[in-house]
Amino acid sequence: MPASNRPRPGGRPEGTVTRGTTNPNRLRRMDRWIVATHGPALRRSAQPPVAVDLGYGAAPWTAVELLGRVRRARPDIRVVGIEIDQDRVAAARPYEREGLTFRRGGFEIPLPERPQLIRAANVLRQYEEAEVWPVWQRLCARLAPGGLLVEGTCDEIGRRHVWVALGPEGPRTVTFAARLSALDRPSDLAERLPKALIHRNIPGERVYDFLRDFDRAWAAAAPYAPLSARQRWVRTIRTLSEGWPVVDGATRWRQGEVTVRWDALAPGHG
């Protein structure tokens, strides 16, 4: 491993303390997507894989839930909750069990092994946009071959969520997920865009054009609303996929999700 990519034993954790807001089941949509899309890679791992819940917050619920969910794909996976605040680590320690541990750290990911999964939810929201790419690069450099970084933002109870999936080579996709019964229009998800995109929701940028077309497709699918919000969403995504590189199918759409290639939404279209 190159020296620049090694965690620094005993060094100061990289990053700053988050607000720490957390609620049970807040990340269920993200976790459900991880298990569905990254499960095959976890199962192919020759060694028991490691998953990291980075910046889990003031309570350990998201790490506890992540263990239960990813073990449906790989029963011997281990989850490590990493927090920069030592008091939060101490408060989480009573929840340790077989396969679940907590330790102090930050973006350096202070583990001897490379994780197959790093989940960083609601961590980069407080950073400047210019800081996002270096953090992404730092975290991706710590991934095992075939590993996945999932970084995104959601509301306090997990009704609306947008995340970016990245491999060791960089960003791959952006996923939009919502509780459809509480969604007035798709562009309501704009407030949950990850830091790399949230300030780019302006005319001339791809993500702005995408959300505009998303709303138009949603409006055109209004006749499906009496059937259900799910039927309307599925019809909306079918229309949207005619002009945008949607990479998933109806199985995921019915979960209230849609995933698009990162390069279609990447900043700097101008």
Query: Is 102 within the bounds of a domain?
Result: yes
Supply the pLDDT for residue 8: 46
The pLDDT tens digits for 105-116 are: 999 999 999 999
What pTM was estimated for this model as a whole?
Answer: 0.93
DSSP 135-191: HHHHHHHTSPTT-EEEEEEE-TTSSEEEEEEEETTEEEEEEEEE-GGG-S-GGGGGG
The pLDDT tens digits for 182-200 are: 999 999 999 999 999 999 9
Query: Is 266 within the bounds of a domain?
Result: no
Backbone angles phi, psi at 262, to 5 degrees: -55, -45
Query: Is 172 within the bounds of a domain?
Result: yes
Low-confidence residues of the chain: pLDDT under 50 = 1-9, 270
**Structural domain that includes position 172:** 3-261
The pLDDT tens digits for 234-269 are: 999 999 999 999 999 999 999 999 999 999 999 985
CATH number for the domain harbouring residue 126? 3.40.50.150
